[in-house]
Amino acid sequence: MNSNHGRLLAALAAAAVLVLGAPACGAVTIAEIQGRGHLSPYAGQEVTDVEGVVTAVARNGFWMQASAPDEASGTSRGLFVYLAREEKPAPGDQLSVSGRVGEYRPGRNPDNLTITQISDARWTRLARGVPLPAPVRLGAGARLPPTGAIAPTLGNVEAARRPLDPTRYAMDFFESLEGMRVEIDDAIAVGPRDSRGGVAVIVAAQGDAGLRTARGGVAIAPGAFNPHRILVDAALAPSPAGIKVGDHLRGVRGIIDYAYGHYRLKLTETPRLEAVTLQPEAAPPVAPGQLAVAAYNLENLGGDAPQARFDTIAAQIVDALAAPHLIALQEVQDDDGPRDSGVTSATRTLARLTAAIRKAGGPAYRWVGVDPLDKADGGAPGANIRQVMLYDPMRVQLDGAVGGARDAVSIASGGKLQPAAGRIAPDDPAFESSRKPLAAQFSVAGKRLVVVAVHFASKRVDQPLFGPQQPPFAGSEVQRTAQAARVADFARTLLAHRADAALVVLGDFNEFDFGPAAQALTAAGLANLTLTLPPQARYSFIFEGNSQALDHVFVSPALAQRALRDYRFVHVNAEFPDGASDHDPLRAVFDIDAIAR
């Protein structure tokens, strides 16, 4: 089943449930409207005289909650009332509300769950200054979200029409609190603020749950995606500035809502920040006789970027990575960045970067890359992102000419690349509207080294963890696995010519270390160096609070068995609010003497 088909089924299933609403009714409670499942039994019906206290006000409506607790376990006592431009009540107003019950799907995106609301609303104020209902406490001695499963694997959870099980499934837990006031006495940030203003946290009382990283985050593992995370949203009240991984937020109070594929706690007041000490890492210097190879996704670095960004990245390369001898860069934009001008050259971008590195005390790097065809490789339209390799010519030399955008690199007798640098299978359908792998042959102390820099297809089209389809469909895996298969073919051919070849495949794979694209490469005989690290140390990226490895280094058996001396992720960006990129770089170190001639 492809992703579009899955989304259509999800949308049709949700629509079918909404049609089967309860008969027209009069006065009901909020808990009765919410019901015991994901969808309201009153969806599509008119309700009257629904009473509650206003707990928070947004630009397009307000939340209200029943004053008295409901005895029904797993049933929310709060909901949202949609008002477009009408006068809005104030927090503490006791209201009687009439209108039509509906299930709003944020952004009309079928991959989002719905939010129960009353629209076409008319309201009457019954009293002012009423004490707000007490928030539901999340913490020690109180309620805690499940840490195991997100949801049952039923297909579409909305169409299943089953009662919520909030003690077993995290999705049901948060759904049972939808629209209600919630309080977390002590929350731990497991990611910095994201592009949508959310900060992922876990309840401090669950600090031992999941695969905690040494630096305060929580890492993923096969089948374990830390469902006890929730995003703290600053849409109604500001969150503290400068939040980083491991910081504590005290007195987190707000309303449980849902948007962008995840449950969110919309702050109604600003919590107190208790910052921890967390410094960017630095890798140790490389010993004489060793070769350091690194990978770094620069998050859309274009020739028009501010000089300060070039300087920060340059300092990281020189100081945090100890000036590797070769660096595979991803997301290098063209000379005018996202401007759609037809320019594809990245000469200015790379000249500015290498000059900044030199100024920071690093080597006079040269670069090798292939300018893509305009708007052919995905990414921001007109930015023409590509992979580029920087190399220190005092230690590493390129072995020949560089091919063009349509020139496929081939492997000749003895395992030599023709041309010495070029793209792997640039016309293969697997790389349509995506970055083509860059392969290059180098000499290191008279020994041959083949390096492949990749940037596989993004996970952006995948269904969210907290969406209606369970398990979620990862549609991007199809293209990404096909891309990995082409690189695996290249590796097999090279190793068939020369079993002791020194081959390094590295970059942003957009794939977990246990994903199918990674498995395609290990099936070709390559070793994923990420697997040499403890599970809790395998991360280069943080998404919605989940620390995860998307960047890797795969090497040929000869390098893995005889030459490898060190491998690490260098955490300088992903855990911090002001990182130069959203990815952390990584570095591998090899003994040159152990590389075959």
- pLDDT reported for residue 221: 97
The b/e string for 234-264 (b: 16+ C-beta within 10 A; e otherwise) is bbbeebbeebbbbbbbeebbbbbbbbbbbbb
Q: By the 8 A CB rule, do 228 and 170 touch?
A: yes
* pTM, two decimal places: 0.94
- pLDDT reported for residue 71: 53
Instruction: Tell me the C-alpha distance between 581 and 300, whole Å.
Output: 8
**Segment-wise mean pLDDT, segments of 10 residues, the chain, 597 residues:** 41 38 70 96 97 97 88 83 90 98 97 97 97 97 96 92 95 98 98 95 97 98 97 97 98 98 98 98 98 99 98 99 99 98 98 99 99 97 98 98 98 97 98 98 98 98 98 98 99 98 99 98 99 99 99 99 98 98 99 95
Burial class (CB in 10 A: 0-12, 13-18, 19+), 557: middle
Instruction: Tell me the C-alpha distance between 254 and 65, whole Å.
Output: 13
Q: By the 8 A CB rule, do 504 and 588 touch?
A: yes
Q: How many CA atoms lie within 13 A of 79 on its CB side?
A: 34
CATH number corresponding to 290-594? 3.60.10.10
HEC states along 46-62?
EEEEEEEEEEEEECCEE
Whether 136-274 and 290-594 share one fold: the answer is no
User: Kind of pairing, strands 438-444 and 417-418?
Assistant: unpaired
What residue ranges do the domains of the chain occupy? 3-127, 136-274, 290-594
CATH topology of domain 136-274: OB fold (Dihydrolipoamide Acetyltransferase, E2P) (2.40.50)
In 3D space, the residue among 468, 350, 330 whose CA is nearest the CA of residue 10 turns out to be 468
* 3-127 is a CATH 2.40.50.140 domain: yes
Q: By the 8 A CB rule, do 16 and 159 touch?
A: yes
- pLDDT reported for residue 261: 97
Instruction: Tell me the C-alpha distance between 444 and 293, whole Å.
Output: 12
289 φψ region: left (φ > 0), alpha (ψ -120 to 50), beta (else): left
Give the CA-trace dihedral at 60, 66, 72, 75, to 10 degrees.
Answer: 10
- pLDDT reported for residue 2: 42
Instruction: Tell me the C-alpha distance between 509 and 553, whole Å.
Output: 9
In 3D space, the residue among 349, 300, 303, 298 whose CA is nearest the CA of residue 321 turns out to be 298
